[in-house]
Structure 1
Amino acid sequence: MSRRRSTRQQATGPGRPFQRTDRIGETIRELVAEELERIGDERLDLVTITGADVDGDLARARVYFSALMAAEADELDEVTEALDELRWPLQQVINRNIRARKTPQISFKRDTSIEAGLHIEEVLAGLKLSDDPVPDDPAPNDPATDGGDTGAASTEAEPNPDGA
């Protein structure tokens, strides 16, 4: 007697547009951000939790942070040190609030995408744009812009299909 296997929709099927790891990652991001506000460590005043990536096996979660005002290496080291000190209390909050058999172990990584975007904006703002309109470049083989040449002189190089 054969057993019939149940056919379940995958996590990305209709009605469930996100994978489970995406939902858990967003929950972790929200929990960490709320808990950092509640803790009120002055070293983390201008730190933003930008995202969390969870591995497929739910073993690890990388929590990304941005510290725009911490431009110097010493300030970034302080932010990283503060987050590392708070890793275990934050992990406990995550363990209490995520209903799963296994909760991911968090680690912190600096998100440089915001700084990269700001740098690109600075470079673009620094470019001097001229007020002169750019003339349209003529097409390379356009007979209308060839300076009056009708192309009669170029027939010598083209073979005649009639053989004459």
Structure 2
Amino acid sequence: MSNRINRINETIKHEVSHQIRFGLKDPRLTDLVSVLKVDTTGDLRYAKVYISVYDTDEKKQQVIDILNKAAGFMRKSVGKKLKTHYTPELLFQLDDSLEYGAHIDEILRDLNKNSKGSDDHGDE
């Protein structure tokens, strides 16, 4: 991926994060919404914005719906920050990778705890 696209991705990520925190006045958006990464197509037509929401599955989908409805508003503010001829259309997607990682970590901790417990009983 080119440096130009990387810079554009970072600019979009920063601006969308700022808009979610300070620009959107929807009370259903909590502080537990994070922009994890942005993937912009080479022709700058689309930018997938990966969002993490620490809440129930129902609430997560609601947040994605809110962001997709506000995409035009956020695209306009992104366009002011980007120095490009075309501003990508923002497509919001849920990213569960943090939760998945936390789940795997929990499983590994449980396995580790259980293996230590069985070692203690082996000496009797």
Q: TM-score, normalised by structure 1?
A: 0.64
The one of 63, 66, 70 aligned to 1:79: 63
Q: Which residue of the partner structure matches residue 33 of structure 2?
A: 47
Work out whether residues 50 and 93 of structure 2, in 8 Å CA contact, stay in contact via their aligned partners in 1: yes
Runs of 5+ consecutive residues of structure 1 not aligned to the other structure: 1-11, 13-17, 134-164
Q: Which has the larger radius of gyration?
A: 1
Q: Which residue of the partner structure matches residue 64 of structure 1?
A: 50
Identical-pair percentage = 30
The one-character-per-residue Cα deviations of 1:64-99 (angstroms, maximum 9, x if unpaired) are 10001x22x321221112111211100110111100
The one of 100, 120, 124 aligned to 1:116: 100
Larger helix fraction of residues: 2
What letter matches 1:62 in structure 2? Answer: K
Secondary structure in 2 matching 1:52: strand
1:29 corresponds to 2:13: yes
Give the whole-Å Cα distance in 1 for the aligned partners of 2:25 and 2:35: 14
| Post-superposition offset of 1:40 | 3.8
The one-character-per-residue Cα deviations of 1:130-159 (angstroms, maximum 9, x if unpaired) are 3649xxxxxxxxxxxxxxxxxxxxxxxxxx
Runs of 4+ in structure 1 off by over 6 angstroms are none
Give the whole-Å Cα distance in 2 for the aligned partners of 1:95 and 1:130: 55
The structure with higher relative contact order (CA 8 Å, sep 6+) is: 2
Secondary structure in 2 matching 1:130: helix
What letter matches 2:49 in structure 1? Answer: V
Larger strand fraction of residues: 2
Q: Which residue of the partner structure matches residue 142 of structure 1?
A: none
What letter matches 2:88 in structure 1? Answer: P
| Post-superposition offset of 1:21 | 0.8
Work out whether residues 46 and 88 of structure 2, in 8 Å CA contact, stay in contact via their aligned partners in 1: yes
What letter matches 1:74 in structure 2? Answer: E
Runs of 5+ consecutive residues of structure 2 not aligned to the other structure: none
The one-character-per-residue Cα deviations of 1:14-37 (angstroms, maximum 9, x if unpaired) are xxxx62111100100000000111
> What is the CA RMSD across the aligned residues, in angstroms?
1.8
